[in-house]
Chains A and B, each alone.
Chain A
Amino acid sequence: DIRMTQSPASLSASLGETVNIECLASEDIYSDLAWYQQKPGKSPQLLIYNANSLQNGVPSRFSGSGSGTQYSLKINSLQSEDVATYFCQQYNNYPFTFGSGTKLEIK
């Protein structure tokens, strides 16, 4: 299985700040990477796919980058509604695997 190591586990930032979340794959996943946002009690929502493609309807302050084994999610101008847990997922190979999650809070 491809292991996805996500960091940090938790993050506290001020409104308007920029935050970065990282995901490291145990092998090259050729940009087959998605990012999800999950709010408490809700299903995950797709933010980014193919490492850097913004899903329809997702604010442009979210962006993804990376290649090979290293990927990141950037949130510019942090808003209160961005409080959530974020997960990465690789879909290069079965079984699809997810990162352990990053819990984002407002300072």
Chain B
Amino acid sequence: QVTLKESGPGMLQPSKTLSLTCSFSGFSLSTSGMVVSWIRQPSGKSLEWLAAIDWDGDKYYNPSLKSRLTVSKDTSNTQVFLKITSVDIADTATYYCAPRYYGPYYFDYWGQGVMVTVSS
């Protein structure tokens, strides 16, 4: 059974770095073909795909945010991380992680999401 849980600071100040963790079970990111994506959603708005990392450590970023994003994984292949530098109010959103085993890259599993508020 695939389960995912995102965690983060809840609230942080503008200009700080946001660090998020996606902890999962039911699959391993060491499995060839696995990819985990990060997606966010401001309250009442649509979804935005941010970044992904695959089993081989290859990383993929949304060009609109690429300069501020870093995606990584732990050596046990059970957690994925996302860092967003220089946050501002526009980064206030619920952040989700979502895995996919090989393409095509629609998302059949989602975490519960973690809400992050950027406020001074």
Contact = CB atoms under 8 A, between A and B. Distances in A.
Contacts of A32: 104
Interface in A49-107: 49-50, 55, 87, 89, 91, 94-101
A98 B113 CA distance: 17
Contacts of B47: 44, 87, 89, 98
Interface residues of B, number: 22
A88 B10 CA distance: 28
Contacts, number: 53
Contact of B112 (A36, A43, A95): A43
B75 interface: no
A43 B111 contact: yes
Contact of A44 (B37, B61, B103, B110): B110
Contacts of A44: 47, 96, 107, 110
Given A34-B107, A49-B104, A91-B103, A101 B46 contact: yes
A49 B102 CA distance: 14
A91 B96 contact: no
Majority secondary structure of chain A interface residues (helix, strand, loop or mixed): loop
Given A43-B96, A43-B112, A43-B113, A98 B49 contact: yes
A43 B110 contact: yes
B25 interface: no
Contact of A87 (B46, B63, B96, B111): B46
9 contacts: A34-B107, A46-B106, A87-B46, A91-B105, A95-B61, A96-B49, A97-B49, A101-B45, A101-B46
Interface of A: 1, 32, 34, 36, 43-46, 49-50, 55, 87, 89, 91, 94-101
Given A91-B105, A98-B46, 16 more contacts: A1-B64, A34-B106, A43-B113, A44-B47, A44-B107, A45-B110, A46-B106, A46-B108, A49-B106, A87-B47, A89-B106, A89-B107, A95-B61, A96-B37, A101-B45, A101-B46
